[in-house]
A = this chain, B = another copy of it.
């Protein structure tokens, strides 16, 4: 028994069952246009990250605006994207499982498919899976550019992996995966600039060694919403993997504000619509959106255009609003929350309730899109 969507096309904001994930289509479309303009003006490819949205509906709109395909973190996400009509998917991750590699290789019969490696065993296993399934896979060597997560150290070790890939009949060496995850959420522009400068040294060093070894490093892929201008300016990356720009969460917005450049390019387009279920005392209102409706790993969601109201103390299914008693909403009221971190928030919901004119008097539901890849973990 699948759960029913919280809204139907044509309904007003007041008719949506809460809590619900609400997409402001107008702001979303402006974000699509802004990133397309940026990447086209700078001559870099855009391969947006689908771990943010998990939706072929959104992926196809990004591609219609010039994106060359999608990237994602999981084989199951790639399955959802290819089933939804995406023709070029890169899994920006290591896959240490023959059964997952088989599933990925099967996708390569109908789409261009890439993955990352940071270990010789990964090359061998990917080559075997591609051979078993009679396909060719694009393989990127992931180098650790400072994030201290996956990735081989920059330099000769990376060249050895690229050579092993190039020797395989079933793999194609496609380039470098050079994503600095930790830099995305550094608060000041100076910290982010320094981190991406260091990442650039690692990329340059490795790329030069690859060239010296006679290997064609066609693509250097990486960069997120938090740093993509820096990678682009460096001239070293030629493919951008930003994901959050379509939605803009509260944490990225805080960085933009710290930079003194609030919302230069992107607007909040994603919200959790919450309802007030109880207001037991004048200075406390309880909403029906807690941990299970808005992720709190990067801080609390922010009440949107509710000056003086603070969301605090979430539990599984409750959030506590405190602050100025005059500003606090009443029992039965609704309000929009800006998620602190979009990606895990989207993953809690089954549906995007897509609105036109969200902040105006004629706000209405235009469409309801499934979060088709929600829970795609394997």
Residues of A within 8 A of B (CB): 1, 3, 6, 17-20, 51, 73-74, 76, 80, 83, 93-97, 99-100, 118-119, 121, 144, 148-153, 181, 275-281, 284, 286, 288-289, 291-293, 295-297, 313-318, 320, 331-332, 343-344, 347-350, 372, 374-378
CA distance A153 to B148 in the complex (A): 51
A317→B97 contact, CB < 8 A? no
Q: Please indicate the chain B residues that have their CB under 8 angstroms from the CB of A289 in the complex.
A: 377
Closest to A72 in B: B317
Is the beta-carbon distance between B275 and A320 smaller than 8 angstroms? no
With contacts A1-B372, A320-B149 known, is A96 near B377, CB below 8 A? no
A149 contacts which chain B residues (CB < 8 A)? 278, 286, 313, 315, 318, 320
With A18-B378, A149-B315, A150-B280 given, name 5 new contacts (CB 8 A). A6-B378, A18-B97, A20-B377, A118-B280, A151-B278
Q: Do B19 and A278 touch (CB < 8 A)?
A: no
Cβ contact of A316, chosen from B153, B292, B316, B344, cutoff 8 A: B344
Copies of this protein in the assembly total: 2
Output the nearest chain B residue to A276 by Cβ-Cβ distance.
B96
Most buried by B among A6, A278, A343: A278
Most buried by B among A3, A348, A374: A3
Interchain CB contact (< 8 A) of A150 among B94, B119, B121, B318: B318
> How far, in Å, is A145 (CB) from chain B's closest CB?
12
Interchain residue pairs A-B with the least CB separation, the first 4? A150-B278, A17-B378, A73-B317, A94-B277
Residues in chain B near residue A121, CB distance under 8 A: 331-332
| With known contacts A20-B378, A372-B1, A181–B315 Cβ distance under 8 A | yes
Task: Kindly state the separation between the CA atoms of A320 and B378 in the bound complex, as whole angstroms.
Answer: 17
A320 / chain B contacts, CB cutoff of 8 Å: 148-149
Can you list 16 residue pairs at the A/B interface with Cβ under 8 Å? A3-B80, A3-B375, A18-B378, A74-B288, A96-B275, A96-B276, A96-B332, A118-B278, A119-B278, A151-B280, A292-B344, A296-B297, A316-B344, A348-B375, A349-B377, A350-B375
Partner of A277, one of B150, B317, B377: B150
Shortest CB–CB separation between residue A294 and chain B, in angstroms? 11
Q: Does A376 contact B3, Cβ atoms closer than 8 Å?
A: yes
A349 interface neighbour in B83, B293, B295, B375, Cβ under 8 Å: B375
Residue of B nearest to A347 (CB): B292
Nearest residue, chain B, Cβ from A185: B315
Contact partners of A348 in chain B: CB under 8 A: 347-348, 375, 377
